Structure 1
C-alpha cells in the first residue's frame, strides 16, 4: 500500500468547552501569551481530556499552525501541570493502590470464565458498524501506540532497559517501516473503509479513549512516573494476546480486508513473547529500585480502570442501539 497515512498531521481539534477552547485559542498566538485559567472540571470529562490531549500533542507531531516554542512554554506548562495533578488525584482516588504486585500480575494472567468485554461482544454479537466504531476509537491510541514508552528508555538501567527496548523494537516494526504497528493500524483503517490519517477521528472520539492516551502521555513525560509507565506497558502486553485473538475471530464474521486481520494476528504472536519480556523488565526495575513497586502497581490498576471505563461506555451505548462516537460515522464519512 502506497497511500500516505499522514495527511492530517497538525490540525487542531474542535474545542469541547471553556478550557479546551482557551488552549486552542492561545496556541494561535505567539509563545509567551497567557494561557486560560483552570476552571473546576470533571477530570474524566470531554473538555478536560481534550485540553490535556491538545497540550500533549505538542510533544508528538505538533500542529502546523502552532509555533514549536509552545512545547516548552512556561505558562502553558504551569497550566498543564495543574491539570495533571487534578487528573492524578482522580486516578489515585479511583484505584486501590498498594504494593501487592504479585496479586495484580496474577489477576492479569487469570483466564476469565465469562468473557464480557468489548472484543467478546464484537466476536459474538457485534454488528459491522460497531466494529468500525471500535476501530475509530482505538485509532487515537494506535496512531501513537508505542511512542510514549520511548520516553522511559533513558530512565531505566541494565536489564530493565534492555527488555523494554526489545519490546519497543518489535512495536516499531523490527527495523521495517511498513511493519511499524502504528502503520499496520493505519492499514487496518484503510482496509475497513475508514480514513487512515493521523488523529483524523479525534473530533468524534469521546473522552474515555482520550483519558487512556492522556494517561500514557502523562506517565511517559515524567521521570517520577517511570514505574507506572512500565506497569501500564506490561498490562497492555500481558492482556493483548487474548483480546487480539478475539478481534481476529470477530473479523472472521465478515469478509474483512486482510490488513485488518494482519494487525491483530501480529499482536497475538508478538505480544505473547512480550508478556514474558515485560515481566523481566519489571523484575529488573524493582531489583534496582524497589521503592517503585507502588508506582508499578498504580500503573497496572489505572490501566485497568480506564480500559473498564472505555468498555462500559461502548457497551452501554451499543446495547442501547446508539453510536458510541460523538458523531456517528454515517454523519461524517
Structure 2
C-alpha cells in the first residue's frame, strides 16, 4: 500500500518527510504542529489531521511501500504523532461527559442501556428500507478502512489487562478472528462482502475517497489500543461496538437482501447478528465489569471510551446521510465500482 495523497499542509509535510530516511522533524512541520491547537476547531472531522493520524497508525499495521519500517518507533515521528493525538484527544473529550451520578458498580448496566439505545435509528432504517445499491456500496467503501482490520486494535488490549477481563476479551476476539479458522475472520467476511458488490477488497484501495468522518472510527480504536493509559478506553470502545450490534447488522442484512444481495454477500452482517448477541453481555459484564472491579481508579476511562465511540459513530452517520439527502455522494469523490 502506498502513502495516500495529502489533504492539507500537515499531511503534505509529513508524507514528504516519511519518504526519506528517519531523522529530525523538519521545521515547517514543527511550526504547523505548534499552531494546530488554534488552527483546528474539531480534529475529529479535520481531513488533514485524520489522514495524518491514519498514516502514523498505519506504520504499526501493514506499513507503506517506500516508507522505511524504522519510522514506526522513530522518536521524532512519535513526537509528531503525539502532537496530532493531543488535539484529537482534546476534541474527543470535549464531546463526552461522564454522568455525575454514575458509580463503578453501575458501569455494566450503563453500557447496556446507553450503547444499546443510541444507534442512529434513522440511518439504520434508511439503509434497511430506502438505500440504493450505489449508496450501499458507498457505505461499504467508507467502512472498509475499519472493517478490514476488524478486531486488530482491540487485540492490543489483551496484554494490558488480567483475570476475567482478559478472558472475556480473548473470547470475543477469538470470534472476531473466526475461531482460528481461515476464511472465517470477520475481516475476511467483509472482503467477501466487497467482492460480491464488485468492489476491490484490498485494504486501503479506496483511501482517497474515504472522508475524515470514516477515518476517525479507525483512528479512535488505534489511539485507545496503542496507549496503555487508555486500556479502559479500548474496552469501552469494544463494548460500544458489540452492544446493539445485532440489531444494527440485522438492518444492514435486510437492506442488502432487499437490493438483491446474495446470501454470501450478507455473511458478514449475518455472522454479527448471531455472535454479537452473546458478545454484548460478555463485553459489558465479564470484560468491562471485571476491569472496573480490578482497576477501580480507571473505571471512568471505560465510560469515556464508550461515549467517545458513540459520538464519532453519530458523526459518521451524519457524514453519510446529509450528502445523500442533498443528492450528493458521501465519498470525497466518486469511487470506481
Is the pair's TM-score, using the shorter chain for normalization, greater than 0.5? yes
1:105 Cα deviation (Å)?
Answer: 3.0
Match of 2:160 among 150, 155, 160: 155
Contact 2:217 2:312 in 1 (8 A): yes
Post-superposition Cα deviations, 1:173-230, rounded to whole Å, max 9, x if no partner, equal 1011200111110110000011110111111000001111111000000000000110
| 2:220 is the alignment partner of 1:215 | yes
Corresponding residue of 2:53: 52
1:93 counterpart = 2:105:
no
Paired residues in the alignment total: 320
Q: 1:103 aligns with which of 83, 101, 110?
A: 110
Question: Is 2:17 the partner of 1:26?
Answer: yes
Displacement, 1:126?
Answer: 1.1
Counterpart in the other structure of 2:84? 83
User: 2:7 matched to 1:16?
Assistant: yes
Cross-structure match for 1:4: none
> By how many angstroms is 1:143 displaced?
1.1
Alignment of 1:192-271 (within 5 A): 192-271=197-276
What is the deviation of 1:110? Answer: 3.8
| Aligned residue number for residue 289 of structure 1 | 295
Q: Is the 8 A contact 1:192 1:257 kept in 2?
A: no
> Equivalents in 2 of 1:320, 1:135: separation in Å?
20
With normalisation by structure 1, the TM-score equals 0.93
Contact 1:191/1:258 (<8 A) preserved:
no
- Does structure 1 retain, via aligned residues, the 8 Å contact 2:224–2:231? yes
Q: Which runs of 5+ in 1 are unaligned?
A: 1-9
> Is the CA contact (8 Å cut-off) linking 2:324 and 2:330 kept in structure 1?
yes
Partner of residue 326, structure 1: 332
Instruction: Answer yes or no: is the 8 Å Cα contact 1:241–1:267 preserved in 2.
Output: yes
1:171 aligns to what? 176
Which of 318, 322, 330 lines up with 1:312 in the alignment?
318
1:326, distance to aligned residue in structure 2 (A): 0.5
* Number of the residue aligned with 1:133: 138
* Deviation digits for residues 3-60 of structure 1 (CA, Å, limit 9, x no counterpart): xxxxxxx211111111111111111101124252214242121011000111000000
Between the aligned partners of 1:70 and 1:176, the Cα distance in structure 2 is 33
SS in 2 for 1:179: coil
Match in the other structure for 1:6? none
Contact 2:111 2:239 in 1 (8 A): no
RMSD: 1.5
**1:170 Cα deviation from its structure 2 partner:** 0.6
- Give the drift of 1:302: 0.3
Q: CA deviation at 1:103?
A: 3.3
- Closer, same or farther in 2 for the Cα pair 1:318/1:288, shift >3 Å? same
